[in-house]
Structure 1
């Protein structure tokens, strides 16, 4: 067997689903996981249990891998540069990945290349936040969104503050804080694209992402009612970012559609992303398969949808731990339903799986996805 070996840093559900997509391609997998019980570690045969923050561990893991890629963005940038200096192929590389790791670096680069995003700047203390709010054209820019520049995700490391006193909490950790205007938006969108080292790129349909308490709850593909003009603008923006940042692999660009008809970039992720999970069942080539193709510099697959509508709903843990009985009911009730479980212990609010539905009638497709996700969580019983 001379098929390539892909090393994935991180043992979460994204690595699990990426491994699944690689099986038909004959790709060999190695995994660096925090524990042997992590989602991907349960299904990958070659698992190294270790700390991704330790350079020696990373070096031992990378030895023998044809390419190293990621389940998350948290590997220290300097470690990735050290791996590259050792001759390891790292995709996406640190020069690109730092824009998903550090929000201040990301905002500066987007400003440089002319990509629109919310008004922002680094702030030093609560008084500086108040000064930022006062810089709003209206003279009163409260509330303000504060973010730690590194480490935040799924609503963590993000605060919406309404005055100077509320602005104290983010500074207690002693890390840099980014202030952003709170955008008046109609909805959140996501543009998912994939780019290979030689510059081939594909774009998936722009989706609507529905958040609850900072966590993605539901994704509708394509975004209902989005004009061709705005959809094209969002895709071009994502492709431009991928090219300018020299991204290799999957790039998710989270967007605000504003009340005045603009598209603003909120966040970047350089790995498969929750807003792209619908592609497992709803696209000709999934985000996971195309991410693998990209990091191996293989020809990219067709991103077109298989059905008119696809809806993905996250299954969040609740007080009902018996997921097995739950999905037996859902399978019997809706044979066309697709269920993806992550092998995680059920904890309230934790992402433990997702479901996808597809068809020609959006209301019906959405109702089926919501019913299954709610039943699996235990919030409904019939």
Structure 2
């Protein structure tokens, strides 16, 4: 009998677990806040925060716990695990995946290539690192940052001192700013016994520190793809991940370096819903339930574009988008409209990556801009 799965979190990632769960007959129970994306479409929701009280209430009703975000009470997750609750990924895995310093300590020691780094509490440590590696530097909060939050590029000591004042004495991860050729992500699904499925690397394109596009296949050399796959599989084994793991990587010339991890389904894997034989969401559930994993092979070229709140509410532009780009798959998350907020994504598939990308970008533009501002995609009919 398949286990009942408790999911900590109720955002869009939780919502995208629902179609494969329904198809596989898996029961999901969510710990979510009122107004979260999953609450409007799913009955089994426990209202609460991912603190000790909420986590224990969820654990009482399920066989296994998993997460759709990392902002959880790790001490309680570890206690539940010690008391016999199946926690997948484990508290130890989450501890590494939520701490950029721990990632570099543990994975660097295991042979995963990382950029030079140090941990600094004061300006002297930062300037000493700059003496060895030069300015500018990148300063990062070890925990809690996402979509560019908690990350600063500093050109000199004055800017570094301002960041230190902003974080009020908290330690900062310090790295050189790397001239990037590309950014990649490798998704790995892994069962408790070690069976794993490694997805082909995808290219992620960042705009204003937020992922804007995901491209399959990536526009990098075959040797870079092979190295990225190797690193992804190695990371999953070293940290003992269970469920989905996203390994985000920097490409700098012929070097592939660790950026950060997410031990859960990830934005970079949304392209797998239409673009792979088995989506990241289905394989996350299979892995957490300890079921045989599905085929991660790509179905062909695919492009995903995030829908970020712009001049208009995408919900008001849905009909126009479906008419203008019927070949694109539109995913709206049911979130309240706000400029700059991630509200959905669009995926397009094709034999040719650039055609897929053109269609996905056009569909995202129609969703986020007034009708008068939309231009026909160059060199392609909107209905293709």
Instruction: Answer whether TM exceeds 0.5 for this pair.
Output: yes
Task: Find the counterpart in structure 1 of residue 378 from structure 2.
Answer: none
The one of 365, 375, 380 equivalent to 1:374 is 365
Residue 122 of structure 1 and its aligned partner are, at CA, apart by 0.3
Q: TM-score, normalised by structure 2?
A: 0.94
Point out where structure 2 has 5 or more consecutive residues left out of the alignment.
376-384
Match of 2:226 in 1: 232
Check conservation: 2:9, 2:31, Cα contact below 8 A.
yes
Q: 131, 138, 152: which one pairs with 1:134?
A: 131
Aligned partners of 2:100 and 2:171: how far apart in 1?
10
- Aligned with 2:86: secondary structure? coil
Alignment partner of 1:248 is 2:242:
yes
CA distance in 1, matches of 2:176, 2:355: 37
Alignment of 1:313-352 (within 5 A): 313-321=305-313, 323-352=314-343
CA positional deviation for 1:21: 2.0
* Deviations 1:202-246 (CA, angstroms, capped at 9, x unpaired): 11111110001110000001102x333221111111111101110
Q: Please, what is the CA RMSD of the aligned residues?
A: 1.3
Residue of structure 1 in register with 2:212 after alignment: 217
CA deviations over 1:172-223 (Å, ceiling 9, x no partner): 3332211011111111111111111111111111111000111000000110
Which SS does the other structure have where 1:40 is aligned?
A: coil
For residues 307-366 of structure 1, the C-alpha deviation after alignment (integer angstroms, 9 at most, x for no partner) is 2x1000000001212x23412112112222100110001111111000000011222211
Q: How does 1:1-382 map to 2 (within 5 A)?
A: 2-35=1-34, 37-53=35-51, 55-136=52-133, 141-171=134-164, 172-173=166-167, 174-224=169-219, 226-259=220-253, 261-307=254-300, 309-321=301-313, 323-378=314-369, 380-382=373-375
Aligned-pair CA distance for 1:34: 2.1
Which residue number in structure 1 is paired with residue 380 of structure 2?
none
Contact 1:29 1:44 in 2 (8 A): no
Query: For the Cα contact (< 8 Å) 1:170–1:177, is it kept in 2?
Result: no
Contact 1:148/1:170 (CA < 8 Å) preserved in 2? no
Q: Classify the secondary structure of the residue corresponding to 2:23.
A: coil
> Would you say the 8 A contact 2:324–2:363 is kept in 1?
no
Instruction: Tell me which moved more, 42-51 or 347-356.
Output: 42-51
What is the rounded CA distance, in whole Å, between the counterparts of 1:366 and 1:57 in structure 2? 41
Partners in 1 of 2:42 and 2:170 — Cα distance? Answer: 36
Aligned 8 A contact 2:2 2:289 in 1: no
Indicate the larger mover: 359-368 or 158-167: 359-368
Moved over 6 A (4+): none
> What TM-score results when the alignment is normalised by the length of structure 1?
0.94
Matched residue of 2:17: which SS? Answer: helix
Q: Distance in 2 between matches of 1:121 and 1:325?
A: 48
Cα separation, 1, equivalents of 2:224 and 2:342: 31
Verify the 8 A CA contact 2:325 2:362 in the aligned structure 1: no
In the TM superposition, what whole-angstrom CA distance separates every residue of 1:288-320 from its partner, at most 9, and x where no partner exists? 00011011111000001112x100000000121
> Per-residue deviation at 1:85?
2.0
CA contact (8 A) 1:126 1:165 kept: no
